[in-house]
Amino acid sequence: MNIDDVKCVHLEITNKCNARCPGCARTSKGKTHPNLAGNLTEWSIEDIKSVFPKSSIAGKTFTLGGTVDEPMMHSNIYAVVKFLIDNGGYVEIYTNTGCNTADTFTRLAELSTQTEMLKLFFSVDGLEETNHLYRINVQWKKVLENMTAYATQGGKCEWQYLVFKHNEKDIDRAKLLADSLNIPFVVRQNMRNPDPYPAYEYKKVDGKMVLSTHMIQPSYNPKFEPKALKQKRNNLVKESKEDYKEINCIILHEKEIFVSWNKKLWPCCWFANQYGFGRPIDKLDIFAEFERDFGIEWNDLNKNSLSNILQHQYFVELLQKSWQLDAKYHNPICFEMCGNQGIRQRYKLTEIH
């Protein structure tokens, strides 16, 4: 594959986020992961131009929102989006909607209506009483202000509502709010967690930060729960050599690449999420094998061009070979997410009427 073959670029333009969602890799017991906290950064326009020459942008979709980032936290998000669109790229932004300003959302909406090349996805999981239970630190007033500013200007968008037990009851009211703003509304099934898990939240009490906890309960409603998660909870999803013949790989079959905030090129966001934040890696895991065999800069866009990395032996040959259970560089995440019984294959958005 070369750069011209790529149809979609899943891109983290920053590692900053205003939220501390308990299901996110950047969150560690209510705080920013310690390996990330002292290394907050964002891509400059020059960074983007360096990695993606103007000639490589046209016709591609750039999806902003990856493993640890909130793209609207980028200090110059409008300029980033406009650069990509001016050079023929389509842009999708996934946002918790609770940061930046209403003015920025208004300007993005105007860009969307003028070009029809920008779409925002509002990741808002409840209403005033419930959205913050998962989207910890996200302020409802700011969410409503930004969402309204964008929608009233006619920007292309969609509200994707992630269902938990605590917010199922709000779906109908959320749909009414979406309708009043003329925002298409869909329900997202929870792909990650088949079982309850704790959420940690720091709140200011009498001038001091106090830790509180509550449980995040997944929805067990069959209308919203992917079958694969139920199977996973009951230990019914197992790997087999036969399953790996039917992997629908994002990079190989759908021509989508993932570029992380630290300019590493990975097959997908799940690989990047496993790698972490430049942590010391165990010498037995596959990422250590990569670095032993290929060097530490093999997929680093600071040191190599996008085209050269895509021509690396791993992407050309070894990734597909690694799907076999006994293969070198085998990563079970390929089956778990993209196998014929994988979570991604059964993941659905449910339109609420």
- CA dist 135 and 239 (Å) reads 33
Question: What is the structure's pLDDT at 162?
Answer: 94
Judged on CB neighbours under 10 Å (0-12, 13-18, 19+), 263 is middle
Report pTM: 0.93
Question: What is the structure's pLDDT at 284?
Answer: 61
Question: What is the structure's pLDDT at 240?
Answer: 59
Render each residue's pLDDT in the chain as its tens digit; 353 residues. Answer: 889 999 999 999 999 999 999 999 899 999 999 888 888 999 999 999 999 999 999 999 999 998 999 999 999 999 999 999 999 999 999 999 999 999 999 999 999 999 999 999 999 999 999 999 999 999 999 999 999 999 999 999 999 999 999 999 999 999 999 999 999 999 987 766 778 999 999 988 888 889 999 999 988 887 876 666 666 666 655 655 555 567 889 999 999 999 999 999 999 999 998 887 666 555 568 898 999 999 999 999 999 999 999 999 999 999 999 988 889 999 988 888 888 766 665 555 666 65
> CA gyration radius for the chain?
20
Positive or negative: CA dihedral 183, 18, 82, 310: negative
Q: Which residues contact 298 (CB under 8 A, 6 or more apart)?
A: 290, 291, 304, 309, 312, 314
Positive or negative: CA dihedral 93, 96, 99, 103: positive
- CA dist 203 and 206 (Å) reads 10
Question: What is the structure's pLDDT at 204?
Answer: 86
Residue from 123, 48, 51, 44 nearest 85 by CA: 48
Q: Which residues contact 251 (CB under 8 A, 6 or more apart)?
A: 1, 257, 258, 267, 268, 315, 319
The 3-state DSSP class for residue 324 equals coil
CA angle 51, 16, 263 (to 5 degrees): 25
Question: What is the structure's pLDDT at 222?
Answer: 78
Cα atoms found within 13 Å of the Cα of residue 224, Cβ hemisphere only: 21
- CA dist 233 and 195 (Å) reads 7
Question: What is the structure's pLDDT at 349?
Answer: 62
- CA dist 99 and 71 (Å) reads 10
- CA dist 275 and 341 (Å) reads 24
Condensed to tens digits (0 to 9), the pLDDT of residues 106-153 reads 999 999 999 999 999 999 999 999 999 999 999 999 999 999 999 999
- Find the DSSP H helices in the chain: 34-37, 45-51, 77-86, 102-115, 131-134, 140-152, 171-180, 227-233, 250-254, 269-275, 286-294, 306-310, 313, 319-321, 333-338, 343-346
Token pair listed for 243: 């399953």
Q: What angle do helix axes 77-86 and 102-115 make, rounded to 10 degrees?
A: 10
Question: What is the structure's pLDDT at 128?
Answer: 98
- CA dist 260 and 300 (Å) reads 10
Contact 57, 85 (CB under 8 A): no
Residue from 199, 174, 196 nearest 97 by CA: 174
- In this structure, the dihedral spanned by the alpha carbons of residues 53, 59, 64 and 66, taken in order and rounded to 10 degrees, is -90
